[in-house]
Structure 1
Amino acid sequence: MFDYDSELVRYQERLWEALDIRPGDRVLDIGCGTGRTTREAARAASPGTALGIDVSGPMLARARREAESEGLRNVEFVQADAQAHVFPPEHFSLGVSRFGTMFFADPVAAFANIGQALRPGARFVQLVWQAADRQEWHAAIRAALGRGHASPTSGPAADDPFTLADPQVVAGALTAAGFTAVDVADVREPVSYGPDADRARAAVLQLWMAKELLTDLDAESAERALDRLGATLDAHDTGDGVWFDSRAWLVTARRR
Structure 2
Amino acid sequence: MSENTAVRVDPSNERMLKAWDGNDGALWAKRAQRFNDGVAAYRDTFFSAAGIQLTDNVLDVGCGAGQTTRDAARQAADGSALGVDLSSDMLGLARRLAEEERVPNVSFDQADAQVHPFPEAGFDVVISRHGSMFFGTPLAAFANLARATRPGGRLVLLTWQPLRLNEWITTFRTIFAAGREVPNSDLALSDPLETERLLTSAGYTDVLSTAVDKPMYFGQDVDDAAEFVVEQHGGRLSDLDDATRAEAIETLRADLAEHQTGRGVFYRSAAWLIEARRP
CA RMSD of aligned residues (A): 1.4
- The TM-score with structure 1 as length reference comes to 0.93
1:54-203 maps to which residues of 2 (within 5 A)? 54-145=85-176, 146-147=178-179, 150-153=182-185, 162-203=187-228
Question: What is the CA-CA distance between 1:212 and the residue it aligns to?
Answer: 4.8
Please report how far the alpha carbon of residue 103 of structure 1 lies from its aligned counterpart in structure 2 after TM superposition.
Answer: 0.4
Output the CA distance in 1 between the equivalents of 2:264 and 2:169. Answer: 18
Q: Hey, what's the Cα distance between the residues in 2 that align with 1:186 and 1:76?
A: 31
- Separation (CA, whole Å) in 1 of partners of 2:205 and 2:179: 40
2:240 counterpart residue number? 217
Distance 1:165 1:8 in 2: 17
Instruction: Determine the C-alpha separation between the residues in 2 that align with 1:199 and 1:232.
Output: 14
Q: Distance in 1 between matches of 2:92 and 2:142?
A: 26
5+ residue gaps, structure 2? 1-29
| Structure-1 separation of matches of 2:226 and 2:180 | 18
> In structure 2, what is the Cα distance between the partners aligned to 1:201 and 1:23?
41
Is the 1:139–1:148 contact (alpha carbons within 8 Å) kept by the matching residues of 2? Answer: no
Aligned to 2:267: 244
1:158 alignment partner in structure 2: none
Q: TM-score scaled to structure 2, two decimals? A: 0.85
Query: Percent identity, aligned pairs only?
Result: 42
In structure 1, what is the Cα distance between the partners aligned to 2:119 and 2:202?
18
**How far apart in 1 are the matches of 2:150 and 2:124?**
6
Per-residue deviation at 1:178?
0.5
1:29–1:52 CA contact under 8 A, matched in 2: yes
SS at match of 1:189: strand
Deviation at 1:148, TM superposition (A): 7.8
1:152 is displaced (CA, Å) by: 2.4
Counterpart position of 2:13: none
- AA paired with 2:225? A
Q: Distance in 2 between matches of 1:216 and 1:166?
A: 34
Is there any run of 5+ residues in structure 1 with no aligned partner, and where? 154-160
- SS of residue matched to 1:72: coil
**Residues 20 and 147 (structure 1), Cα distance of their counterparts in 2 relative to 1, 3 Å cut:** farther
- 3-state SS in 1 of match to 2:172: helix
